[in-house]
Chain A
Amino acid sequence: MDDLLQEFVTETHESLDVVDVELVRFEQEPNNKKILDNIFRLVHTIKGTCGFLSLPRLEALAHAAETLMGKFRDGAPATGEAVTLILATIDRIKDILQALESDQREPDGTDSDLISELERVVKQIAQPASASAAPPSQTVGILTPQVLERPLRPGEVSLDELERAFRETEVDPSVAARLGTPAKPAPRETAHNAPAKDDESKSGGSQSIRVTVDTLEQLMTMVSELVLTRNQLLEIVRRHEDSEFKGPLQRLSNVTAELQEGVMKTRMQPIGNAWQKLPRIVRDLANELGKEIDLEMHGAETELDRQVLDLIKDPLTHMVRNSADHGLESSADRQAAGKPTRGRIRLSAYHEGGQIVIEISDDGRGLNTSRIKAKAVAQGLVSSEEAEKLSEAQIHKFIFAPGFSTAAQVTNVSGRGVGMDVVRNNIDQIGGTIDVRSVAGMGASFTIKIPLTLAIVSALIVEAGGDRFAIPQLSVMELVRARGNSDNRIERIKSTAVLRLRDKLLPLVRLTKVLGLEPADAGARDDGFIVVVQVGTQTFGIVVDGVFHTEEIVVKPMSSKLRNIPVFSGNTILGDGSVIMIIDPNGIAQSIGSTVSSQLAAANETNVTREVAGSRTTSLLVFRAGSTQTKAVPLGLITRLEEIDARKIELSNGRHMVQYRNHLMPLIRMSEDVRVKGEGAQPLLVFSDGVRSIALVVDEIVDIVEERLDIQVASENSGIIGSAVIRGHATEIIDVGHFLPAAFEDWFRSKDRPTAGRIKSVLLIDDSPFFRDMLTPVLQAAGYEVMSLGAARDALALLKAGRRFDIVITDIDMPEMDGFEFAEAMRREPSLKNTPIIALSSIVSPEALERGQQVGFHDYVAKFDRQGLIAALKEQAEVGQAA
C-alpha cells in the first residue's frame, strides 16, 4: 500500500474517533465553541487531505458534513437530528476508509443519499443562521490577511476563517490523552502569539513516533529472553559463592529489570482506548431506547498492557450496553421513582496493587433478584428450596453462570443470550475477577479486577509428585503449612478434605491427584503445604508437597499439543534452564467439581455477610445419629471431625474409649439407639476444652449449613437444646455441654436454670466468634435471651443508646478496648452502673482478680467453666431480682 495512503487511513481513523467522542460531547454542551471548533478542524483536515489524495467520495462527504457543522458554528442550534446525521456520515467515511485500506482505492458507489440529506438540513437551518449572520466572533491578535486564488465553494470557509478556527482551537489535551492517540501537532502558534506554553509544546507531534505493534511484540519477546538468561546467570552465580561475576551481574540484573519495565511501558495503553467508542454507543442507545443517559468516565488515563486491553474491550462495551438497556429505567419510570430523569452510567478505572480495577456502575433499578432467582431455579442451577435460603448477593452471582441472561425480552441492544457469563469468561481468561453489587432501585455496580500484564508474572514455584510447577502469585492468597498434629490440620467431611482457616472452611485439592501423579494406592496424607488460592469468588487450597520460592517468570504459550489440558495455562523456562508448567487455578477450580466447593463458598459467603450485617446465623454441622432425624451442632463447638478405624475402639469399664493423641478419649453415645460400629470407619465429632477431649459417636455427617439458629421448640430431653428448622427439616440441636460431664465425672454438673418469671436478657461480648458461638446456645438453653457482640466499643455504643440488659458478660482480652476498660466506661454511666458484669477470662491471676474488683466486676469466671458461668448468671439474676 502506498505509504502516504496508509498514513492517511491511520490518521483519519484516529481523527474520526476523536470526532465521534467530541460530537457526543458537543450535543450535550451545544454552547461549547471549543469543542465545535475542534471537530470542525478535524473534519476540515480530512477533507483537505482527501482532495490532495484525490478521493472524491470522501471529500464530498467530508465537505457536506463540514458545511452543516459550519452552520452550527454560525450559531444554529445543534439538533439531535443533525448530530445523528453527521455521525452517520462519519460512519460512512469509516466504511469507505476500510475499503480503501483493503483495496487501496475508493470503493464504487454514491453517497448522494447522505449528502442530499445533509444539504436539506443545512437549508432547513439556514434561516436562523442567516438571521444571526456574520457573527462577529472576537479574536485577539493580529490577523494576517490571506489571499485566495479561487472563489469559495458553497459552504466553504475562507482561509481567514480557517486560520481563526485553528488559532482559537486549543487541542484538548485530555481528549488526546484519553484516546492515547499520538498527539497531533498542536496548532502551530503563530509568532505573534508567542511565547508558547510549555505544556502545549510538550504535546507536540515531534515527541512521539509511530511504531508498529509487531516491533513492540518482537522487543517484548527479546526482553523476555533476556530476563530468562539473566535468571539463568543468577542461578549459576548462586551456586558459586565468591564469584567475580557477582558485581557485573548485579548491574546486568538491574539494567534488565529497567529495560523490562521500559518495554512493558511501551505496551501500556490508557484504558480510555477501550472506552473511546462508548460515548457514541451510549448516545445511540439513549436515542433508540428513548432514555436520557449521562456517561461519566473517570481514570481513562489509567494504563494497562495492550494485550489485556484488547481482551477487555468487548466485555466493557457489553456491560455498558447492559447498564443502558437493562439497568437504567425510562425517564418516566425514573421520575415516578423520584429520581432525576437523566440516568447515569459511571465508568472508573484505577490501579491497586499490581491490578487494575474497573468499575461500571449505574443508578438504575438494580438487578431483578426475583427474576434471577426464578431463572436460576428454572435452569436447574439451584433448587427452589435452596434458592429461598440464599442471600441477595448470592443470587446476583447467578448472572455469571454459563448460559444465563436475564433479558426477558430480546431487544436489539442486548439480551441475546450472551450475557454476563460471556463477560466473565473473557475476564477469567486474563486471570481477572468480576463481582457485582446491586441494590434494588438504587442501581448496580460491577467491579472487575485484572492483572496489568500477562507476559511476565511473578509465580510461586511448588513441588508435587517430584515435579515442579509454577502457580501465578496473583491468585495466591496465602501459604499454610499443614501438619498432622497442628491446628492447621487437614480434616475430612465425608471424603472431602477441608482446612479450617480462621473461621472458614476451605475445600482442599491435592495437586498430585488433580494432575494424576498419585499412585493408585496413595493413602490420604495429612501433611504438606497448602497454597490458598482465589478464583473468582471461590477460595480453595491446593495441597502441594513443597514450596520453593517465587520467581519472575516469562509466560510462554504451550505447544498446541498440550493446550487441551485445562489445568495448565502455559509453560516457562526457569533460571536453572528447565521447563516447568504453569498451573491455571481456574482449571483446578473446574476440576475439583462444583458441588462441594460452591456449598462451602456459599457457607463462607453467608459467614461474611453475617459478620457485616450482624445477623445471627451460625454454621451448623448436620449429622445423623441413632435415628433418621437430622441433628445439628454449631460447627464452632466442634474441635475436629474424625473418622477412626472401628477396630481401634476399646471397651473399658463399660465405656467405649479410643486412644487419641496419647490420651484415652471417651466415646459418647447420645442415646442407646446410637450404635458404635464394629468395623469400618467410625465418624466422630471431637470436642475439646484444652486438655480433655470427648467424642460423640455419629452415624453419618450430612452437611454443613449456615442458618439462623432459631430454636423453636425447647426440648424435654436432656442433651438436646431444642428443635430448629434447618434446610426445611426439623432438626434437633444438640447441647454439647450436656455430654461433657457424661464423660468425665469431675466435670461439674448442675441443673441451674433461672427461676421462673421474666426472661433475663444477657449481653455477651467476646472478640472470638468461636466463644460467641459456643456460649450463645449454652446461655439460650439456660433460658436467657442472648445478644452477642464482637467488640466492647459496639457494646458500649449500644448501651449508651439506651438498650438495657439484665446482665453483661464480657471477655477481658480484647483488642481496642479490653474488658477492664469496658467495665470502667460502663461504671462511669450513671444509668449503667448497677448492671451486673461478669468477666470471662482464660487468665485468672490474683492481679487480674484485684483489678476486676476495682473496675466493678460482679463475678469472675474462667472461660471454659460453662457451669460456673451458669451458676454466676443465676446468682446475679437473683440478686437483681431481689434488688
Chain B
Amino acid sequence: MSNDEHLSEYVTAGIGGQMFGLPILSVQDVFVPDRLTRVPLSQPEIAGVLNLRGRILTLIDMRRRLGLEGKSSDGQAMAIGVESRGESYGLLVDSVGEVLKLDDRARENSPINLDPRLARVCAGIHRLEGQLLVVLDVDRILDLGPASMAA
C-alpha cells in the first residue's frame, strides 16, 4: 500500500503572519469578499454577512477569532468558504496559499503552552521547512460560544 492513505490535504492560509491549514474536505471555495455588510450588535468575531452567489454567508474574522493582533496586511483579504450544519460561513484570512499534502503521522499535538484561544481551535501542528503549520478544526472555529450581548 502506498502512503496515500496517511496523507491529508490542507488549504493553507496566512493569518497575522502565521500559517494555518484547513482540511481540504471542509473547504467549499475560496473567494474575495465583496460588499460585506456589518451586523450591528453581533459578536466581535463576526465580520459581517455577504451574498455569495445567492447565498447569505456569515463571515468570521479569523484574526479576532484567534486573538491575533495587528493590522491586516495591505493585500486583498481573502475568505475561505466552509459549511457547517447546513449554514454557510466564510473565514476571513489575510492570504490563501497553496494546497499541501501532508502525512498524518507527522502531525504533532499542539504544544501545551499554545495561546488558549488558538489551542481551542487547533487540531495539531505540522513542522514544515522553516515554519509551522497550525491545523484548524472548522467546527471548533465556528463554535463561538455563548453570545455575550452587550445591548
- The residues of A with any CB-CB pair to B shorter than 8 Å are 225, 228-229, 465, 467, 514-517, 556, 559-562, 564-565, 567-568, 571, 573, 577-581, 591
Contact = CB atoms under 8 A, between A and B. Distances in A.
B42 A573 contact: no
Given A516-B150, A564-B149, A578-B35, A573 B56 contact: yes
Given A225-B54, A516-B151, A564-B149, A559 B40 contact: no
A577 B35 contact: yes
Nearest to A515: B40
A564 B37 contact: no
A635 B93 CA distance: 59
Contact of A559 (B38, B54, B87): B87
Interface stretch (B16-24, B45-53, B100-108): B45-53
Contacts of A580: 37
B39 A581 contact: yes
Interface string B111-151: 00000000000000000000000000000001010010111
Contacts of A560: 85, 87
B147 A559 contact: no
Contact of A579 (B37, B40, B142, B151): B37
Nearest to B86: A560
B56 A565 contact: no
Nearest to A565: B41
Nearest to B54: A225
B46 A467 contact: no
Nearest to A512: B40
> Among B35, B37, B40, B50, which residue has the most Cβ atoms of chain A within 10 A?
B40
Nearest to B58: A559
B87 A577 contact: no
Contacts of A568: 39
Contact of A467 (B38, B43, B50, B149): B38
Given A515-B40, A578-B37, A561 B58 contact: yes
Interface in B13-71: 35, 37-43, 46, 49-51, 54, 56, 58
Q: Can you list the 8 inter-chain pairs with the closest CB atoms, starting with the nearest? A: A515-B40, A559-B58, A564-B147, A578-B35, A579-B37, A579-B49, A565-B41, A573-B51
B41 A567 contact: yes
Contacts of B37: 467, 578-581
Nearest to B48: A579
Contact of A561 (B38, B41, B43, B54): B43
Interface core residue of A515, A567, A581 (most chain B CB under 10 Å) = A581
Contacts of B147: 561, 564
Contact of B42 (A562, A577, A578): A562
A579 B56 contact: yes
Contacts of B87: 559-560
Contact of A516 (B40, B89, B142): B40
6 contacts: A562-B42, A565-B151, A567-B41, A571-B49, A573-B51, A579-B51
A578 B41 contact: no
Contacts of B149: 564-565
Contacts of B41: 515-516, 565, 567
A172 to B, nearest CB: 44
